[in-house]
Amino acid sequence: MSPSPVHMRARSRAAPYMPSYLQQGQKCVVCNDDATGLHYRAITCEGCKGFFRRVCQRRLQFSCKEGEKCEINKETRNVCQHCRLLKCVANGMSPELVLNEFDRCAKRKLIEQNRRRRQIEQVHSKLRRRSQPVSPEIVDQALIKSLTREYCANVDVPLVMESDFQFLDPSEQFNALLKEILRRTYSFATSIDLFRTLSSFEQECLLVKNRAWLEIQFLRTIHQIDTVERALLTAPPPSKIKSPNSDSSIQSRIKLAELVIEPAALSQDMLILAEAFQEFNLDNAQLAVLSAIFIFQPEFLPGNAEVASLNSTLWTCLQSLVEQNTAGGDTPERMAHWPKLHIKLAHLRATARRYFSAFFERTNSDKLGNPLSFRAEFR
């Protein structure tokens, strides 16, 4: 059997750009090849344009052996460069318009900047059409106030452990901290009416399997980091809080480099997230709504229409808060604020997903147990 013929796929070549001022089939005034545009004040082909540019930039000089009487066309243009240059000048090509290498680089950079600016403006134009401002009438202000109050009472409070905490071994300390974080997150979640109507399994799906508790803690932690001093702001020790002459508003600062954290990269990732979120200047209301969004993720309860509806309501509330706190009017910077926040939130959730298994690998599951089994204690 003869081998089957090999079919080579033809390479598609896009038609070259032709300026509107060129007539169909217009020829180069120097060599009569197909012209591509106005180059240095003359209609020429790409070959003659490049030849003229190189000669002027390098200040090349030629001589003619035929008394400057050579015929220049598409076939002979490379035979006598002297006569080709004379014909370029005779047909209007101007050496003064040829840029040196520095100017060419500057022009190329300017063209690239303008191209990027046009692309950004196109994106902003689409955002203006698609991202309509939220009407105040559809924003649930009572929900925002309730979430903010419960967030400040249950999540955004100093983490103060029992007096014997310092005497526990590292594993027991870690379990105690994790249990307290889960307890606070559960208390915040149960302040939301819909969460209390869910079954134990559904609550566990949203709060634990969804990693909501870790995302909420990450969100709070990065807003406790001083990015300038690279330090974590913490509550003062219990002994100082109980002192009659102490100021409870004073915060301690722990350098991130001095923290002993496993995995070791966690403190650096927290700093990166803190720097990323710094420009948004989120207040407690926004942090509270975001924390609720982390809990009520429809993909973890795909058959529950109420969870999907609340998730949509929470996003509307958050967008309203962001628009209220973002100055600048209908500028490109302001229009980019909302989508940029989505990008940073995706970064935070990806970080939580990466560390989620590491947290539970270090716990003693027998001692920690199922976080939701402590419901009676949490109430």
User: Does residue 248 lie in a domain region?
Assistant: yes
| 75 CB neighbour count, 10 Å cutoff | 11
In terms of domains, do 222 and 83 share one? Answer: no
In terms of domains, do 87 and 211 share one? Answer: no
Q: Of 60-74, 142-156, 276-290, 361-375, give the lowest mean pLDDT range.
A: 361-375
The model's pLDDT over 215-228, given as tens digits with 9 standing for 90+, comes to 999 999 888 888 88
The CATH number of the domain holding residue 185 is 1.10.565.10
User: Does residue 29 lie in a domain region?
Assistant: no
User: Does residue 111 lie in a domain region?
Assistant: yes
The DSSP code for 257 is G
Residue found under tokens 């005034």: 29
In terms of domains, do 256 and 341 share one? Answer: yes
In terms of domains, do 92 and 193 share one? Answer: no
User: Does residue 123 lie in a domain region?
Assistant: yes
In terms of domains, do 71 and 147 share one? Answer: no
User: Does residue 197 lie in a domain region?
Assistant: yes
Q: If pLDDT is split at 50, 70 and 90, which confidence band does 158 have? A: confident
pTM: 0.58
- pLDDT value at position 368? 41
User: Does residue 232 lie in a domain region?
Assistant: yes
The model's pLDDT over 71-121, given as tens digits with 9 standing for 90+, comes to 999 999 999 999 999 999 999 999 989 987 787 788 888 888 888 787 767
Short-list 170, 179, 29, 13, CA closest to 92: 29
Mean pLDDT over residues 4-31, rounded?
A: 69
- 3-state DSSP call for residue 307? helix
User: Does residue 24 lie in a domain region?
Assistant: no
In terms of domains, do 278 and 343 share one? Answer: yes
User: Does residue 31 lie in a domain region?
Assistant: no
Domain hosting residue 115, numbered range: 100-130
Among 130, 151, 183, where does a domain finish?
130
In terms of domains, do 191 and 58 share one? Answer: no
Q: If pLDDT is split at 50, 70 and 90, which confidence band does 244 have? A: very low
The CATH number of the domain holding residue 62 is 3.30.50.10
Residue found under tokens 């309730």: 146
In terms of domains, do 161 and 111 share one? Answer: no
Q: If pLDDT is split at 50, 70 and 90, which confidence band does 18 have? A: confident
C-alpha–C-alpha distance, residues 48 and 45, integer Å: 6
- pLDDT value at position 166? 62
C-alpha–C-alpha distance, residues 258 and 235, integer Å: 17
Task: Note the helical H segments in 32-100.
Answer: 46-58, 81-90
In terms of domains, do 243 and 304 share one? Answer: yes
Q: If pLDDT is split at 50, 70 and 90, which confidence band does 168 have? A: low
What are the two backbone dihedrals, phi and then psi, of residue 231, each rounded to the nearest 5 degrees? -135, 150
> How many domains, the chain?
3
In terms of domains, do 122 and 178 share one? Answer: no
- 3-state DSSP call for residue 15? coil
Question: Residues 154, 191: contact at Cβ < 8 Å?
Answer: yes
In terms of domains, do 297 and 371 share one? Answer: yes
- 3-state DSSP call for residue 27? strand
In terms of domains, do 179 and 215 share one? Answer: yes
